[in-house]
Each structure stands twice: as structure tokens, then as C-alpha cells.
Structure 1
Amino acid sequence: MLELNGIRKTYVTGTTSVEALKGIDLKFRDSEFVSILGQSGCGKTTLLNIIGGLDKYTSGDLKINGRSTKDFKDRDWDAYRNNSIGFVFQSYNLIPHQTVLSNVELALTLSGVSKAERRQRATEALEKVGLKEQIHKKPNQMSGGQMQRVAIARALVNDPDILLADEPTGALDTQTSIQIMDLLKEISKDRLIIMVTHNPELATQYSTRIIRLLDGTITDDSNPYNGEDDNIATKTDEDSLTDKKSGKTKKKKTSMSFFTALSLSLNNLMTKKTRTILTAFAGSIGIIGIALILSISNGIQNYIDRVQRDTLSSYPIQLQKESVDVSSMIENMMGNKDKNVDHDKDKIYSNNIMTDMVNSMVAEVNSNNLKAFKSYLENHKSDVDGYISDIQYSYDVPLYIYSTDTSDGVTQLNPSSVMENMYGMSVSGDGMMSAGMQNTSVWSRLFDNRQMLDEQYDLIAGSWADNYNEVMLVVDENNEIDDYTLYSLGFKDPAEVKKIFKNVMAGNSYETEETQYTYDEVLDKKFKLVLPTDLYRYNDTFGIWEDASHDDEYMTTVVNNAEEVKIAGIIRKNPDAASVSVSSGVAYTKDLMPHIIEKVNETQIVKQQLADPEKDVFTGMSFDNDKTSISTLENNKSLLGIASEDNPSEIDIYAKDFDSKEKLQDFIKNYNDEVTADGRDEDTINYTDYVGILMSSVSTIITAISSVLIAFVAISLVVSSIMIGIITYISVLERTKEIGVLRSIGASKKDVSRVFNAETLIEGFVSGAMGIIITLILCIPANAVIKNVTDISNVAQLPVAGAVILVIISMLLTTIAGLIPAKMAAKKDPVVALRTE
């Protein structure tokens, strides 16, 4: 039973108060058809809204099944409207972007009814009002009478105790009005119907009770009810509402699932496709700006990183057993000293650098204990792995390579015999000329970092070298190899160089033949690896070892029995690589030198020399006998290639980038601090950082560029957020009536807020996805322009992770930007919202 005791409602506008209801006392039967009549403004709709829980009374009490509603909270009113009340409005108030079936199902979604049951119950309700065949239509595809039937089906689907009808026939023609009234009359047989109308004829014809209002008071009640015949127990505030027909406890709390909110919002957006797309595009402008900046920033950073890696692959941190610190001298010559001076600029002053330069030039040679540092480096490998692209250990071991063809005698290819043929002197001799010739070797160590190799080179034939006896031939970007390298590798006859030299010296021209080789011919090329110890044989007569490198018969046997080294593949410099670790010639793997060291240490001459380190194996004399020997043990070790893997003669550390190089320098400094603290000053490491001197400003430039890009990104984010907030607010204004409808069927403030949060989330996703797609399209012409201007390829590159993050950021920003408009929507007065057109 529904009971109103002394209900008053006062509206306050500014300083003016209007009393709409002035003490209404009414009781209603469980099943009756009540019509409320009165002039416009007499309080009929206000009374209906108070009974329906859409509006709150100022004083008095509204009792539901004997329970007072004075202490009802918002969730109690929401549950009451959802479970006990069904609204039928004059203007139907159907949600236009939902189908007929979805409109009817909506109240059930708030009750937590399963999808299958929702569909069944909604279909049954539509069948009762004669619209079973219309369930998939949209409201705008139906007549006024059909839409009112949908509204009635929606009101009945949750099986409410009370049906409230506000001018249900006000927008209908006479014939349709009669059909609707007949339907309401039938419904009133098992529930309470309260109808507000201006039509006294319809009220008289169909109602079982007519109540007349005038200026907020009841002037007449045709069939009053005092409730004396009913035995109703008063319930406590903690009790749930109970269905009197079924006896089941009705759900007290309603809740709309987020998927329902998504569906409502998605359907709303789809009904306005053009505007949704334009709105998404407007919201995506900021994302496009950010994505383009990120693309170019990412591409530039990748290019810078690649340049750094490529550049640093040619300029490692180089640690040698013996070194001279020339950093100070170079800085003095370049004028990189501190310029903090204190004098006027009205004269010319001298900048005295000679003393510092001379001090640097005559500084003593520093000895580095690379054995100790290598051990420290390997023990702390995890500390530097992230900063290193490769580490190369060099040893004082000569690399002797010979031609496999000994039919016309042996041909030494490395150390190169090209210069020997030119000048007619051995490259193994002493002096500056010999040293210069040996530095022209075309054999180099290959990087052990496959990722870097793949970035710097293209493999054009064969496969990558994996074993100690496999090497790579390096060609330039035009697939060319200079003829010096061809002579040095035996592809062309080194003896031809002597002819070139003689003709040039005589003033005659000499044209060399241009040669070309198939990939198969190159890959078939093999070399002979001769150990440095193989150049010496034992003299039984004198009990010493003698140099036999000029004995053709001996060397032919040595070369024929030597191990073979083959070209496994051909690599070409990648056009996008700024620099490469090996520009031309042959590159061998890191395993070659350890193999040579192991084999050398197994030879008889080495074992004999190490067994008696005081005696020279070449003279049979003691090293300290100045009259008979000018050799030293170290000279002999160098000559024979005696070395140990744990004691390199040089360590080249290749940093990934300039920041990593600084970390590696800090690592070396920490090492020096530790050995100094241990009293081992002799083990400190000295080195020269050439690339650091030449490129010290690069990091500053990169930082400046990054800061500018970040500033642009920040501006774009702010603009995008403001745009999305405005768009969401407009959507709230447009869907105000929908808010009223949702509240009338029991949606809570949180549910309403969730609907608009879902809409902003969808808008954010569409904006983000659209922004990413447009950015990817714009990257194509952007790359073409940048390539044309700078000759740098593929600068604009949007990373996949960045794209995903931007979409997530877009969704997050739209949700945040929509929080205030969504909260405004939730706070809207449902009565006011329903009146919005």
C-alpha cells in the first residue's frame, strides 16, 4: 500500500519560494486505476514525481508498504524506482539510439538479470502490448501509439507494483488514445495505476478513482481509501522492499554493468556517425601531434643512436700496455682549456700553452696492467654489459697468411708483401718503413656483436663466419674492393705492383686491368694460416733455432701443411650506416687469435724458450750477455707470438652510445680508485679518449633537442585534454533527457556517471586509434621529404609500443577530462532532465 501523509513540496528560486504541494494526505489501494485531474500548475506532475521517487518532498512522509521513506538514501530510491515503479511519459522518453528490445531490457540490466532472461522477459512484455514483431526497430521507425506501447512495456518489464502515467495520451490521436487507455485499464486489474491527465472524459470512462487538485491541495476524491480493512505490518528501515504478489524480496541495490554502459554509449555514438568521426578527429589532433613528434623523435633518436654506435665502433676506449696521455696536449692545441679569465678586453693577451704541451710531449710512458684489469672487467661483467656493444682483446701475436698456391713458390699475403714488391725490401725488417708497411694490413678483427653487424652491413653472399677458420670479405656500397686489397689477398698478382712502381718512377703510364669476380669465385678463395713459430727450424749442429722464412723449399712444406682459412661470406656496408667497424678487406672472428695462441704455446720452440727464460733460443746465449745478444725475452715472445689469453696487449672497449661511454669511463675510474686504495698504484689504467674530445658537445645537443620535443608534446597533451573535456560536456547537454530516463528506471548517480565515462573511453580509443592511423599515413610523405632534404631514410618511425601507449594515454586522458562532465550529468535533477527537449 502507498500512503502520503502531509506531503508538502516547496521550490526555492533565488529569494522566491513557491509551494507546489500543501499537505497532501492520500492512501492508495494495491490495485486500482487512479486519475489525478487539475489545471496546469496545480501540482499534479509534482505529486506523481514524488510518488515515483524522482522528486523529494519538503516535509511530511511517504510510506511504502508501511515503511517510512524519511530516511531513504539515494540507493534506496534507486532500488524503489527500479523494482516498484514503472513510468509512462507523455513524450514516451525512449532512448533513440537503442532498439525497441534494448529500451525495454534496460530496466532489467540494472536489476542484475542475466542476458537470456532479460531478452525473454522483454519480449514477453512487448508481446503483451502487441509489439512482438517490432523488437528490432528503432523508436524513430514507429508511430506515436507504438512508441507509447514500448514505454508501457518498459514500465511493466520489471513487474512493478505501481505504474505512473503522466499524460500518456497527450500526444496521441483519439483512436490511439482509446487503445492505450484500454491497455492501461487491463493492467490496473493486478496493480496500482496513477495517471495524471487533463482529459476528464477519459478519466471518467476508465478510472476507478478520480482525485482533483487545485493549487497544491486536494479538492475532491471520488473513491477515498483509509486502509482500515488492510492488515499491514510496518517494516524497519533495514528491510528490503517486498513484492506483495510473489512474496519475494526485491533487490534493494541496483547497478549497471560497465558493459551495459559501453553498449549505451556505443549505440549513441553510432547514431551520430558523422559527428562521432569529426569529434574523434578533433580529439585525435593532439594525438596526431604527439605521435608525429614521437615518430620523428624516435627516428631521429634511432638515427643518432645508430650514428653513435657506428661512430663509436671506429673509436673505442683503447687501453694499451704502454700509453702516453695525449688528452691534455690535444686539449691545449684545440684551445679547450678553461676560459674563466679575469682581465679587461681592451688589449691582446697571450694564452700560454707551450709549457703544458711540452710537459705532455715529454711525459713518461705509462704502463698499464691489462691482465689485472681484464680480470676485474670479467668479474664485473654484469655491471657493464648494458653499456658495451663489443670488447676486443688484442695480443702481441703476428698474423701470417699465405697463398694456398705454392706452384711458383710461396706468397706471403699478410703481413702484406705488396710494399715489399714495390720497394724491394722485406716487411719483416726493422725501422719506420717496416712499421708503416705492417700497419697497411687488410686483415681486421670482426665485431662479435651480431646485432651491430646486421645494422652496419648487408650479407650479400654466403653466411656469417662462425669459426676461427672462417672470415668475411668486406666490400663497399658499390660492391667494389680497392686493388691494394686485391693484391694483398692474392686475387691479383702482387708482383704486378713492382711493374707499376718501375713504370711510374720512369715517367711511363701503366694501366692495370679492371677485374671482376663472381660471388662463387670469392667464396671459393682460401688462405693458409702459418704460425709465427713455423718460420723457425731447429739447427741440430748448433743447438739453436734459426729463421727459415727465406728458404723456399722449407716454407713450401710449411704452407702446404698449414691450416686453411676460407671466406665464409661477403658483406657490404649498409647505406644507412654512418660508419662501420671494418671498411674493407678481410675480417676474422674473435676465435682466431686464441686458436693461434694455443697452437703457438704447444710448439717446441716456445716450450724450450719458456723452460729456460734466461737463455735466448736463437743464440743459445744468456739474455744478460750484452756482447753476444741484443735480444730480450720480451722481444722473443713478441717474435714467436707467445701470449696468454688473460694478458692482452690491448683492450678495445666499444660503447653503445656516448652516455654508455661515460658510464664505462666511470667504471675505469672506480677501478683506479680501488687499486689505489689497495696500495697498487702501478695497476692504475691510463688511456686517451679521442672521441670524447672531438664530440663532447653531441650529448648537449641531443639533450636540447629532446627538451624541445618534450615541450611540444606537453602542449599537445594539454590542448587534447581541453578539447575532449569540452566534447564530453556537449554530449552531457545533448543526452540530458536520457539521463532523466535512466534515473526514472532506477539508475543511480554512479550508473549515469559510468555511462558518460564509457562514452569518453570509447571516444578516447577512437581518437587514439584514428590519430595513430593518420600518423602512419603522414609518416610516408614526411619520410619522403626528409629523405629528399637530408638524405636520411625512414626518420619518421612510430614505435609499436609508443602507438599502444598513446592509445592508452588517449583513453586515460579522455576519461579524466570527462570526469567533471560525467559528475555533472550524475548530479542532474531527473525531473528537470526529463523536461529537457
Structure 2
Amino acid sequence: MTFLALRDIRKSYFLGKDEFPVLKGIDLDFELGEFVSILGESGGGKSTLMNIIGGLDREFDGSVTFDGTLLDHRKEKQLDEYRRGTIGYIYQAYNLISHLTVLDNVLVSLEMTDLTQKERIDRATELLVRVGLEDQIKKHPNQLSGGQKQRVAIARALASDPKIIIADEPTGALDSQNTAEVLELLEEIAKEGKLVIAVTHSQEVANHGTRIVHLADGKIDGDTRLKPAFDVPTDNVRISDRPLKASASYANAFKHLRYTFGRNSLIMLGTAIGLFAVMLFSGLGNGVKAYIADQVNSLANPTAVTVQRYTKGGSDQQGAGTGSSTQLISDSQIKKLKSINNVQKVEPGYILANGQTKISDKTYSLSNMTTWSASYQTKIIKAGSKPGTNEIVVDKNTVAKEYSSKNWKSIVGQKVTVTWVATTADGTPVPVSKEMTVSGVIDFGHNQTSNLTTYQTVQAANKAAGASTDAAMATVKVNDAKNVSAVAKKVNAIKTDGARQFTATTVGDILDTINTIVSLATTVLAAIAGISLVVSALMIIVTMFMSVSERTKEIGILRALGESKKDIRRLFTAESLLIGFFSFILAVILAFGLGAVLNSALYKIASFNMIQLSVGNIVTTFILAIVIAYIAALLPARRAAKLNPIDALSAD
């Protein structure tokens, strides 16, 4: 019963417009259980016919039918399925994959079956035992003799349980003993109910089969039956085939990456350095932001909102006596601020203009003099305590050290006369003077100065001098830091007769401004570091193109085994992605390792870990590594997939 039928197969090669016919109308029928030798001299069309039967050659006229199914050579997917499930190849040049072990070379074919991993290993091992290579399983092809390589090729051809075995000059490179053993194996394969087609120019090999088809000048000039075809077993249960899984492509890519680790390690190191630099600058940006936030929050209360009257196009800060009543905050406005949701309390306050103090006949300027509120943290007090009624805390650098550079704390407890300028309700300036006691010394650091007294003290002094007692500012204490932003928005939204009344300032506003600058700086630095990633991408592209050139024959082998163009693309894309992944791992190790060293050095200066890598930084770097590796692989992988399997198999 015919299993494989060829009808009017014609094939020509063209050199320019000149046509050179190779096959000139081939009609052949094959049945299972046959061992058919296609005999002929070199150039007679044997290899071309083999490529057509094997589903590798698509450019021909005529038809190929197998098991009652017409093979449409214009449909690449059908050809892939045909090679995967029906054809097994044995080559004169063995065509083993050099970076794979003997066992892995056989497993390549089994990866496109529905067997489990254990079943695949068991079958591959069983076949290698059958061909006498049980003690060579872990070796690589370059450690084998010619006869051993051919046996591996036979085991691989049988692995997926194909119905047709095509042997291209299977004994051409073997001595007489190995030739006899290989022919015996081929005969055993035919007896198992498979169709064995051996392409040869050796009459001795041809005489070993059941039938000889002689091909000369592109035509069949002889078809001799030597003996009947072997009986086909009726209880033969075949292994089912399926498309290659993505996991198999990644596993094969990893095996090649490991085999060529020396070369690829340099690429991974170069890429890792670029990724490390990006990660380091991102972590530095996080650390600087955290350091600034820590310093600001240590000085100012993050749950406090500073409120002043809104002045369009001008300064929001107005002294208690330096502006009109429209720049002050009345008691009714204080009550309105208290009515806002999530507000715990509202503290009115003053910003005092032209403040001075006199100690022992020496006058000190009290620049930036205001009233104590919930905005301030007690951490700023470096000596003494916060002010009470008729008390003041003075700035360390501009007052206390000027009073006594060696014993600046001695100013605490001193009686001082404090003066400032307030205004009456109609805006007339009024000098105010008040006897106070220095209760403490404060230091904001960062070149910031301030002197603080209490609201009640200033209010009483202004009242006694006939000045207005309305507040110039207010501090709104919010019940939770997460509600600060919402309260600030509500304060800014307060209007009277359609006019905005207040400007709310929070610690978050200050930090947002600083963080924007820090983010801009770190982004620029990270972008500069990212330029090295462009170089890394080019390195990966060059490496992958080299890999395609070096593995051209492997590509042909994989296509002959039934892998699709998609599988080939995925193989090279997977290898590039693995390079990106391992580069990322190395970059993380560098970032945490060198980051720890840098933090140790910087901690001695700032008492703070300045490099802080977040999960977001790591995830972003991972995505960056994968994207770069994937983009770098696109062109080489596409080139690999477009290679003609026949040309790839013939590559050196």
C-alpha cells in the first residue's frame, strides 16, 4: 500500500535567465517497511529529490502525497508539521549540534513530542543504548569518532518516532565495519514498519535494501525490487508530536549561553555596568530625597500647615505691623480655619519686623523673628527650653555665639529687652518694647536663622503699645499627615466675595520643590549613564549576529527536525533575553555591593544612608534590561528565521 507518492516532480535552478533543470518529471511510490536506495552519480538530482521528500524544498513543480494527504509546499506551517511528525534525517556530515551533549542532541527532536521530561530522557537513553553509545551520553560531538557521530544521528532521527527516515549518504564517511553496522541498523528500522530512503552513490549500500531506484540526469532510469517490503506491525503505537514549547527554546538558549559563557560574560559585564550606573543614580536620588525629608521633618512638623493672607503677585509674608488689615488674620477668620475637617487646632502667630534685642549694652539684630507654633520641632532647641510667657529663644549663630563664642549656652537665663515695629489698625507704625528672658537657644542649620517668642507675649506687648493685635499668620495643626494636603487645599479654597483669602504652605510643598530639583538632577545623571546601555545594546546585536553566523548549520538542523521560523526567532530572542537577565542580576549585585561601600563612606559625613535602592528601582532596571535585550535581538533573530533550511544545512 502506497504511503508516499511523488507525481511529476520537476525542479530547475536558475543562473540569471539561464535555466538548469535538475529533476525532469519524477513519479515514485513508496510504502512502509521498505528500505529504498536512491542510487546515482553526483549531480544527478538525488539530494534535491531528498530535500523535496523531506519537506525542505518548497520551490518545485509537482505533488507530494503522504498517508493520503496532499502536501502543499506553499504552506510553511504544514511543512513544519510534516517534518516534525513524519520525517527523520540522517546526514553524511552527521549534523550534530556541537554545544549539546550526545543525550541533548537526541532530546532536541523529542522536545516536539507530547512525552514528559522523564519519558523523553528515558527514550533518548534507550535509543543511545540501542546504537551502542550508552557510555558516551555525556560527551560532546567533538569527543566522538565518525562512526559514533553517525550513531547519534540515527538515534536522533528515530527519537520522535517518524514514519519516514531519510538517510543522505549515511555511510559515506565511515569505514567498512561502521558501514556494515549502520546498514544493519537501517534495515532494522525498516523492519519496524518505517520507510527508509537512503540517498547514495554506492552500489554496495544500495544492494543492502529492499529496492533500488536509479536516478540519472534528473530522471528515473531504473526501479529494481530486490526483495519484498517488510511487514508493518499492526500494534505499533506512535508518539504524538506537537509544536515546540517556549520553555524548550529558553532551555536550549541557556545551554548555548553556558557553552559560550566566556565570550558572553564580557557582554553581560558591559551591560551590567550600564544598568548598575542607572540603578546607582536612582538610588542616590532616593537617598538625597530621604535625607532632605529627614532633615526638614526634624526641624518642622509635617502635620502643620502655615497659613498667611493671600497677596496676588506679591510676597505672602507680612509683618504684624507692616501692612494693612487686609494682610492680617482676624479672630473670625481663625474660627473659619478651625471649622475645616481634620483640623485639631489653629494657633495664631506674628511675624515681627525690625526685631532687635539689647544685652549688656550690646544690641543684636533678631532677623526672622516670629512666634512659636506647632510647626516647630523641639529638636531645634540646642540649649534650654522652648519659650513661655515673656520668654524668647534666640538663634545660636547670630545671637548666642555673638554673645559668647566659647560659652554660647550662657545666654540662657539672661534678661533682655526686645524691640520690634508693629502697626495700628490704620497702618501707622508703632515701636514696641518688651522685657523678656532667654529660655533657650535654637539652631535650624543650613544657614537658616530664627528667633522665637510666644503669641501671647507679642499680643500683650502690641496691645500695651496701642498696636493691632490681629495675627499675621496662623498654624493649622492637622490630625494626620495623610490629611495635610487636603486641608491645605481647603484653606486655599476659602473665598470672600469671590476673592481668595489665604495661602497655605506645608512641609510637603517645600519637599516637593526640592524633590523636583533632585529628581531632575538624578534623571539627567541616569540618562547620561543610560548612554552606556546603547553601547551595550549594540554589543548584544553584534554578538547575536555572530551567533547566527556561527550557528547557521544548527538552524538548518532545527528546521529539518520540524522547528518553525517562530521557534528559530524565539531561540535567538531567548538567548538575548537571558543575556539581559543575567546582566540585570550582576547589576543588582554591583549596586548593593558598591552601594553598601559608598553608604559606609558617606555615613561618616552625613550620618545617613545616601544610596537607597527601592523595589521600584530594581523593577525598572529589570524592565530596562529585558527591553534592551529584546530590541537588540529582533534583527538577528529575524535574519536567523529567514534562512533557507537547505542553504543553512550546507553551511560550513
- State the 1:578 CA deviation: 6.1
C-alpha distance 676-10 of structure 1, shift in aligned 2 (>3 A): farther
- State the 1:514 CA deviation: 11
Match of 1:370 among 324, 328, 334: 334
Say whether 1:726 aligns with 2:531: no
C-alpha distance 685-311 of structure 1, shift in aligned 2 (>3 A): farther
C-alpha distance 392-198 of structure 1, shift in aligned 2 (>3 A): farther
- State the 1:12 CA deviation: 3.7
**Matching residue of 1:414:** none
**Matching residue of 1:738:** 554
**Matching residue of 1:203:** 206
Say whether 1:798 aligns with 2:613: yes
C-alpha distance 138-707 of structure 1, shift in aligned 2 (>3 A): closer
Deviations 1:302-339 (A, max 9, x none): 4444455556659975337xx7979947999xxxxxxx
C-alpha distance 14-762 of structure 1, shift in aligned 2 (>3 A): farther
**Matching residue of 2:257:** 269
Larger radius of gyration between Structure 1 and Structure 2? 1
Contact 1:475-1:584 at 8 Å conserved across structures: no
What SS does structure 1 have at the residue aligned with 2:585?
helix
What SS does structure 2 have at the residue aligned with 1:110?
coil
Contact 1:254-1:747 at 8 Å conserved across structures: no
Larger CA deviation: 134-143 vs 778-787:
778-787
Matches within 5 A, 1:141-290: 141-190=143-192, 191-204=194-207, 206-223=208-225, 245-246=234-235, 254-290=242-278
Say whether 1:820 aligns with 2:635: yes
C-alpha distance 793-132 of structure 1, shift in aligned 2 (>3 A): same
Contact 1:328-1:360 at 8 Å conserved across structures: no
- State the 1:766 CA deviation: 0.6
**Matching residue of 1:831:** 646
Matches within 5 A, 1:58-137: 58-70=60-72, 73-137=75-139
What SS does structure 2 have at the residue aligned with 1:277?
helix
What SS does structure 2 have at the residue aligned with 1:94?
coil
What SS does structure 1 have at the residue aligned with 2:64?
strand
C-alpha distance 488-783 of structure 1, shift in aligned 2 (>3 A): closer
C-alpha distance 367-220 of structure 1, shift in aligned 2 (>3 A): same
**Matching residue of 1:747:** 563
Say whether 1:294 aligns with 2:282: yes
- State the 1:728 CA deviation: 2.3
Contact 2:565-2:642 at 8 Å conserved across structures: yes
**Matching residue of 1:651:** 475
- State the 1:486 CA deviation: 7.7
Contact 1:203-1:210 at 8 Å conserved across structures: yes
C-alpha distance 721-512 of structure 1, shift in aligned 2 (>3 A): closer
For 1:219 and 1:796, the matched residues in 2 are separated by: 82
Letter matched to residue 834 of structure 1: L
C-alpha distance 810-30 of structure 1, shift in aligned 2 (>3 A): same
- State the 1:513 CA deviation: 14
C-alpha distance 13-305 of structure 1, shift in aligned 2 (>3 A): farther
For 1:690 and 1:755, the matched residues in 2 are separated by: 55
C-alpha distance 668-76 of structure 1, shift in aligned 2 (>3 A): same
What SS does structure 2 have at the residue aligned with 1:222?
strand
**Matching residue of 1:771:** 587
For 2:160 and 2:522, the matched residues in 1 are separated by: 60
Contact 1:167-1:195 at 8 Å conserved across structures: yes
Contact 1:49-1:55 at 8 Å conserved across structures: yes
- State the 1:829 CA deviation: 1.3
What SS does structure 1 have at the residue aligned with 2:497?
helix
Deviations 1:101-152 (A, max 9, x none): 2322222221222223222322222222122343333333332222211211
For 1:124 and 1:278, the matched residues in 2 are separated by: 40
For 1:326 and 1:757, the matched residues in 2 are separated by: 60
Letter matched to residue 544 of structure 2: T
Contact 1:326-1:688 at 8 Å conserved across structures: no
What SS does structure 2 have at the residue aligned with 1:134?
coil
C-alpha distance 319-130 of structure 1, shift in aligned 2 (>3 A): same
Matches within 5 A, 1:543-582: none
**Matching residue of 1:671:** 494
- State the 1:89 CA deviation: 1.0
C-alpha distance 307-713 of structure 1, shift in aligned 2 (>3 A): farther
For 2:596 and 2:588, the matched residues in 1 are separated by: 13
C-alpha distance 36-370 of structure 1, shift in aligned 2 (>3 A): same
C-alpha distance 711-105 of structure 1, shift in aligned 2 (>3 A): closer
Deviations 1:684-716 (A, max 9, x none): 644697999999996785475256346426634
Contact 1:370-1:649 at 8 Å conserved across structures: no
What SS does structure 2 have at the residue aligned with 1:54?
coil
Question: How well do the aligned residues superpose, as a CA RMSD in angstroms?
Answer: 5.2
- State the 1:488 CA deviation: 9.3
Task: With the length of structure 1 as denominator, give the TM-score of the two structures.
Answer: 0.58
Task: With the length of structure 2 as denominator, give the TM-score of the two structures.
Answer: 0.73
Match of 1:138 among 129, 137, 140: 140
Deviations 1:65-91 (A, max 9, x none): 233223662222222222221111122
Letter matched to residue 202 of structure 1: V
For 2:316 and 2:370, the matched residues in 1 are separated by: 25
RCO (CA 8 Å, sep 6+): is it higher in 1 or 2? 1
C-alpha distance 132-582 of structure 1, shift in aligned 2 (>3 A): farther
For 1:183 and 1:327, the matched residues in 2 are separated by: 97
For 1:5 and 1:813, the matched residues in 2 are separated by: 50
- State the 1:255 CA deviation: 1.0
Deviations 1:342-379 (A, max 9, x none): xxxxxxxxxxxxxxx99964566633412222323x26
For 1:44 and 1:26, the matched residues in 2 are separated by: 13
C-alpha distance 370-20 of structure 1, shift in aligned 2 (>3 A): farther
For 2:510 and 2:615, the matched residues in 1 are separated by: 35
C-alpha distance 367-171 of structure 1, shift in aligned 2 (>3 A): same
Corresponding pairs, count: 576
Contact 1:42-1:213 at 8 Å conserved across structures: yes
Letter matched to residue 801 of structure 1: G
Deviations 1:219-246 (A, max 9, x none): 333339999xx9xxxxxxxxxxxx9855
Contact 2:492-2:504 at 8 Å conserved across structures: no
> Unaligned 5+ residue runs, structure 2?
350-356, 389-403, 411-441, 454-463
- State the 1:270 CA deviation: 0.9
For 2:548 and 2:286, the matched residues in 1 are separated by: 38
For 2:253 and 2:65, the matched residues in 1 are separated by: 36
**Matching residue of 2:436:** none
Contact 2:310-2:501 at 8 Å conserved across structures: no
C-alpha distance 9-581 of structure 1, shift in aligned 2 (>3 A): farther
For 2:253 and 2:290, the matched residues in 1 are separated by: 41
- State the 1:60 CA deviation: 1.0
Contact 1:89-1:151 at 8 Å conserved across structures: yes
Contact 1:314-1:579 at 8 Å conserved across structures: no
Q: Which has the higher strand share?
A: 2
For 2:116 and 2:508, the matched residues in 1 are separated by: 69
Contact 1:2-1:64 at 8 Å conserved across structures: yes
What SS does structure 2 have at the residue aligned with 1:24?
strand
